Amino acid sequence: MNEENKILVVVKTRYMEEQSKPSEHKYAFAYTITIANVGTIAAKLLSRHWLITDSNGKVEDICGDGVIGKTPYLKPGEAFTYTSGALINTAVGVMQGKYMMVSDTGEKFDALIPQFTLSIPRTLH
Task: State the pLDDT at residue 116.
Answer: 97
Distance CA 107, CA 91 (A): 40
Does a structural domain hold residue 22? Answer: yes
Answer whether residue 124 is part of any domain.
no
* pLDDT band with cut points at 50, 70 and 90 for residue 99: very high
- Give the number of domains in the chain: 1
pLDDT digits (tens, 9 = 90+) for 8-51: 999 999 999 999 999 999 999 999 999 999 999 999 999 999 99
46 close to 71: Cβ distance less than 8 angstroms? yes
Kindly indicate the confidence band of residue 124, based on its pLDDT and cuts at 50, 70 and 90. low
Is residue 1 in some structural domain? no
On whether residue 121 sits in a domain, the answer given is no
- Residues 121/15, Cβ–Cβ less than 8 Å: yes
Q: What is the pTM of this model?
A: 0.91
Rounded Cα gap, residues 41 and 59, in angstroms? 34
CATH number at residue 105: 2.60.40.1470
pLDDT tens digits, one per residue of 62-98: 999 999 999 999 999 999 999 999 999 999 999 999 9
Residue 79 lies in a domain: yes
Q: Kindly state whether residue 82 falls inside one of the protein's structural domains.
A: yes
Q: How far apart are CA 25 and CA 37, in angstroms?
A: 38
Calpha distance 25→56 (Å, rounded): 12
